[in-house]
Structure 1
Amino acid sequence: MAQPRLWVIRHPAVPGLAAVRGEGVATDIVRHAHAKTVVGLCLSGGRRIEAGGGRWCVAPGQGFVIPGGVAHACAPWGASEHAYVALAAAPQCFPACPGVSDAPEVLGAPAVWPSVWEDGKAAALLLRAVAALAAGQVAARVRFAALCKRLRLRPAPLPPLDPAVRAAMAVVDAAPDAPVTLADLAEAAGVSPFRLERLFTRDLGVPPGEYVLSRRVAGAAARIEAGAGLADAALASGFCDQSHLTRHFRRRMGVPPGKYVVEGE
């Protein structure tokens, strides 16, 4: 059994594009959403993706696309662990379409749900883009553009958010490590706690409490990247202790924080 490990690769020479490689991932990952579109490839084992009322199973050698803003959960499929590699791309990384009427002929319609693909040339382009990104080469953008054309991908616009959801998110984002209750967020948003919970789940796919935890995990990951120890990163990010961070980090990243590695910066 492979040791679980998660590598995140970014480089200032290639803004807007990041790569993630997971090995020995055997943990179910709770429902979440990415601001960027994710294009990935299953390397071994199998990956299950659930979104809305659907389920997509990705076998080794198959790829997957998760549009930005789509709430989904991931888990191993067909094995106790799996490995994968993925690119997360901001909208500016996609090839420009010459015109609205021409866009379907160039890159197809924006996706609104996860999808599975199987294409050896596309897989090779993805792996070459990841290698170029790790080397800090701007060719990563060129190869990602070629991948988009091969798979006919366009970025989907992020779903609109209710003003109450935006107001509550602003409170959390301003200080994700600060103690906050659902009542606090509802008061800032000008709605009842019950309505805020419903709006949050409708617009983001997760309740406010899960959003708070996701932002805290992201803060801890940033502190770990900057060289902080796990215990210090946990406390500074709003967790009770290192074990509290480890539990929620694993549920959102698939590996414990001690197996999280950042390259390229």
Structure 2
Amino acid sequence: MPQSALSVSRHPGAPGLEAVCGVGVAADIVRHAHARSIVGLCLGGGRRITAGGGVFEAGPGQGFVIPPGVVHACAPAGDAGHSYVALAASAACFPPGRGDGEAAVEVWPRLWRDRQAAELLLATAAAVSSGDGRALRFFQALAARLDLRPASPPPLHAATRRAKAAIDAAPAEPVTVAGLAGLAGVSPYHLERLFRRDLGVPLLDYALSRRVALAALRIGEGEEICEAALAAGFCDQSHLSRQFRRRMGVPPGRYRVSRPS
């Protein structure tokens, strides 16, 4: 089995579009949701996506779509790791008018198998990684091929929105349910219930995921893992490594970010 690795590429000319390449990813990834549309292709092994009580399993050569805001967990389909390429795209990456019309907004993951779409996805990922100016054009052709449409996550209750904003504004700061409930103007029990209903994960799990995201950002900028761990609010590198693997699928030492000029 290849050594696990996860690389993220961001194109300076296509803000909101990222390419993610996972190799030998063998860890289960806890429940989470994305703010952007995800479209990916399984290259080796199998990828199991669990959402809403359903299980969607992609094998080699099969693709998957995860709409924004859909809470899901991911895992390799077998004992061995799996490899994949995925794109994360904000609504601004879609062609103008793509979200118009009466087409139903997707609310569950779906699988696809289409040779031309696979070629377009790989071409988009390669263009993002190399800084090729055609990246956005390739993605928009892929969106048309798979009938992908931009979507926004569902609206949040005001209390959830206030608590989430407080966490997002200072992810490294320690938080308590009671403290956030006071800020949101509701009881701790009510906030926990609203937060889980709106975002699909417990409040403190969300706060931990934001710390991991902050650490990933700093590691991607070249900071040492131990320094990134402390800056993101973890007690030490070991604590970060455990949580990083549960949310990213690989240890932090196997995570890379590239920004082509």
Shorter-chain TM range is over 0.9
- 1:263 Cα deviation (Å)? 1.0
Provide the aligned length of Structure 1 versus Structure 2. Answer: 260
AA matched with 1:54? G
Aligned to 1:114: 109
Aligned to 2:250: 255
Match of 1:152 among 147, 166, 189: 147
Whether the 8 Å contact between 2:99 and 2:149 is mirrored in structure 1 is no
- 1:54 Cα deviation (Å)? 1.1
Match of 1:194 among 184, 189, 198: 189
AA matched with 2:248? M
Consecutive aligned runs of 4 or more in structure 1 exceeding 3 Å deviation: none
TM-score, normalised by the number of residues in structure 1: 0.95
Aligned to 1:226: 221
Residue 172 in structure 1 maps to residue 198 in structure 2: no
Query: SS where residue 231 of structure 1 aligns?
Result: helix
Residue 8 in structure 1 maps to residue 33 in structure 2: no
* Distance (Å, rounded) in 2 between the aligned partners of 1:206 and 1:162: 15
* Distance (Å, rounded) in 2 between the aligned partners of 1:34 and 1:183: 26
AA matched with 2:87? L
- 1:43 Cα deviation (Å)? 0.4
Aligned to 2:33: 33
Aligned to 2:54: 54
Q: From the superposition, tell whether residues 165 and 98 of structure 1 become closer, same or farther in structure 2 (CA, over 3 Å).
A: closer
- 1:97 Cα deviation (Å)? 2.2
Query: SS where residue 84 of structure 1 aligns?
Result: strand
- 1:137 Cα deviation (Å)? 1.8
Whether the 8 Å contact between 1:110 and 1:153 is mirrored in structure 2 is no
The runs of 5 or more residues in structure 1 that have no matched partner are none
Aligned to 2:94: 94
Aligned to 1:66: 66
- 1:33 Cα deviation (Å)? 0.6
* Distance (Å, rounded) in 1 between the aligned partners of 2:241 and 2:98: 46
- 1:4 Cα deviation (Å)? 0.6
In the TM superposition, what whole-angstrom CA distance separates every residue of 1:135-155 from its partner, at most 9, and x where no partner exists? 212211111111111111101
In the TM superposition, what whole-angstrom CA distance separates every residue of 1:129-182 from its partner, at most 9, and x where no partner exists? 111111212211111111111111101221110000011011111211111111
Percent of aligned pairs with the same residue?
A: 61
Aligned to 1:210: 205
- 1:198 Cα deviation (Å)? 0.9
Q: CA RMSD in A?
A: 1.3
Residue 183 in structure 1 maps to residue 164 in structure 2: no
